[in-house]
Amino acid sequence: KTKIILDVDTGSDDAVAIMTALLSPELEVLGICTVNGNRCIEMTTENTLRVVEYLGSDVPVFKGCAMPLVSSLQPGRRPHMPFIGQEDPEENVHSDYLDYLPPATIKPQKQNAITWLIDTLMASDGDITLVPVGPLTNLAVALRIEPAIADKIKEIVIMGGAYEYGNITATSEFNIWIDPEAAKIVMDCGAKITLIPLDATHRACISLAECDELDAMGTKAALATSEFARYRIKGYRVFQPMEQDDWGPIHDALAVAAIIDPTVLKDVRQLHVDVDFSGGSADGMTVCDVNFRDKKAVRNAAVALNADREKFVGIIKAAMARSER
């Protein structure tokens, strides 16, 4: 079994990623850290707990950073983010993202995500894979407190970034855009990194027909996945039309699928990836040196530029079939 730690900002695609991980015998989920991102930290933690409780799992959940390192301090730099630090958790107990799941009655652990991450990695044999699928704030803070964790990490499999085009700005993907300084710290930490940008996740879409198949499967996880996927497909028609009108990406689940079966990723290239945080039009961009212009630059990440859609959906369906009814 591959030991993993998920780091999530649960929203609907994080929810599918968590369910896939918890339901896959190839993986042992040691814990789940939460971070500010899709929603404020209270809501991403609540949503994470909902998913864990829904599946009857006892995996520990650790609450992490409530704010990005720097980006939200600069006026005007994050104009699209009304919810960073401004969300009223009381008003949002019934998240529009995960309303399908009952409110959580279980609680996060008392220890915070950062110290747990450091303690767990330092006590390990270097056999833990980190799977951050939200902004990289928690891991960046952990690296700043204890840089020695970099040598203890087996691999970091990140959902984030974009080579061809962004989903928040022309150049920038959400997870990196929220906290580009954190992303830069992580990209340069020296650990083995696989980066799964939008270029890959947009090619690993799930279709409405496949949602029907999940419904027919009828397990708890299949029904929730179908619900979330339908919500996403509908949203993407407006937000960012995909190649086909009846399908949408489940970004974060691709990172989990890639640990279960690395061949789900296609066109994987070992590259130097820099992160821009200049505040200009490339702010939050993962700058991928695909033509090796900088000969001296360290090739710090394996970047997936494509994915095997059929294989991805197969992994999701196989996981969801294992849940109870």
Single out the residue of 54, 62, 163, 174 in contact with ligand BDR (rule: CB under 6 A).
Answer: 174
The pattern of x and - marking residues 150 through 169 that bind ligand BDR according to CB under 6 A reads ---------x-------x--
Q: Are 154 and 192 in contact (CB under 8 A)?
A: yes
- Residue of 9, 179, 252, 276 marked catalytic: 9
Report if residue 175 touches ligand BDR, rule: CB under 6 A. Answer: yes
How many angstroms separate the CA atoms of 121 and 132, rounded? 15
Which residue number places its CB atom closest to ligand BDR? 174
Q: Which does 62 bind (CB under 5 to 8 A by kind): ligand BDR, Ca ion, none?
A: none
Burial letters 197-216, b for 16+ CB under 10 A, else e = bbbbbbbbbbbbebbebbee
The answer to whether 7 contacts ligand BDR (rule: CB under 6 A) is no
β 205-207/247-249 pair status: antiparallel
Active site residue 9: yes
**Number of chain residues interacting with ligand BDR (CB under 6 A):** 13
Residue 173 near ligand BDR by CB under 6 A: yes
Binds 166, which of Ca ion, ligand BDR, none (CB < 5 to 8 A, cut-off by type)? none
Residue position matching structure tokens 């009223």? 88
User: What is the b/e burial string over 285-298, where b = at least 16 CB atoms within 10 angstroms of the residue's CB?
Assistant: bbebbeeeeeeeee
Angle at 129 between CA 124 and CA 132, to 5 degrees: 125
Rounded CA separation 135/7 (Å): 9
- Judged by CB under 6 A, the stretch of 104-112, 171-179, 233-241, 269-277 that binds ligand BDR is 171-179
Q: How far is the CB of 178 from ligand BDR (least distance, A)?
A: 8
User: Applying CB under 6 A, which residues contact ligand BDR?
Assistant: 11, 13-14, 38, 133-134, 159, 167, 173-175, 251-252
User: Which positions are catalytic?
Assistant: 9
